[in-house]
Amino acid sequence: MTKPMRIWYQSYVDYEHGKTYWDRLRLHLKDIVDEGTTVDIHGITPHDNYAHAIVEFRCAREVICNAVRAEREGYDAFVIGHFQDAGLYEARSVVDIPVVALGEASMLYAAQLGQRTGIVTINTRFIPWFHHQIGKYGLKERVTGVHAMQFEPGQILRAYESEDLAREVEALFEAQAKPLVASGCDVLIPGGGIPMLLFSALKNHAVDGAPVINGIPIVVKMAEMAVKLRRLTGLGASRTSDFIKPPPEIIEEFLANPKGL
C-alpha cells in the first residue's frame, strides 16, 4: 500500500492575482502526482509582480519561513515552484524535509536530455539572476545561453485569460529560442512556472528539434522521489558547507524578527 505523502507547493503568486493560473495548476498537479500524494499550493502576498532581485529577496524570506511552517505542519516535502529559486539554499538549511526547486530541478534534468541547455526567461532583468543560478549549480558548461522575452510577471499571467496573448507568448518564446538552438543548445527551458504551465498543453513541444521542458512535473516527481528515498534510506541534504543547519534558537530568531524602516 502506498504511504500518503503531502507536498507544500510554494507559488510566488497569490490566488487573488493569479486565480486562473492557480486553478489550472491545481488540475495539472492532480494529473501528475502518484496515488496517495496530495499537493497544496501556497502563495505569497504581496506577490512577485516585478522582475527584480529585491523582489526575489523579499519573497525568499517568506519562503524560508514557510518551509519551517511546512515541516512543523507535517508536510513531507517543500517545493519552490518558482524558477528563480529564491530562498532555496537557506530553506534547505533550516528544515530536514526535502526542499526542491523548479529552476534547479529543470536544469539538472535537462542535462540528462542534451549536452547544452538554453533558457528563455520572461524579462531581461532576470538574465543576471539566471546566470548566478547557473554558476551556483555548477552548470556553466551545460546551460550555455539565456535569452528573454519582455513581460512583467503580472503581465504574463494575463495570457491565461486570453488565447490571443497565449499564442503571442508562444511566438515570442520561439523567436528567442531559435537563436539558442542555432548556437548549439539542444534542450530549451521556459524560465518560469507561468510560461511552463502555459505551454503544458503543447505535447512534444520542441523548437527546431530541441525539446522544450515543462519543469513542473519534473520538480514534483523529484520531490516524491526525495521523500521515498528519505523513507527508504534516510537520505537527506548534506549538513556541511551550504546546508549547515543553524541552532534552533537562531531559526526562531529569524522567524520572529523581520525589521523594516
Q: Does residue 9 contact residue 22 with C-beta atoms inside 8 Å?
A: no
Collapsed DSSP state (helix, strand, coil) of residue 191: strand
Check pLDDT > 70 for residue 261: no
Summarised one tens digit per residue, pLDDT across range 219-236 is: 999 999 999 999 999 999
| Phi, psi of 81, deg, nearest 5 | -90, 50
Q: Does residue 220 contact residue 33 with C-beta atoms inside 8 Å?
A: yes
Summarised one tens digit per residue, pLDDT across range 68-96 is: 999 999 999 999 999 999 999 999 999 99
Check pLDDT > 90 for residue 159: no
Which pTM was predicted?
Answer: 0.95
Mean pLDDT on 14-37: 95
Please provide the average confidence, as pLDDT, over all residues in the chain. 95
Residue partners of 92: CB distance under 8 A and separation at least 6 = 99, 237, 242, 243
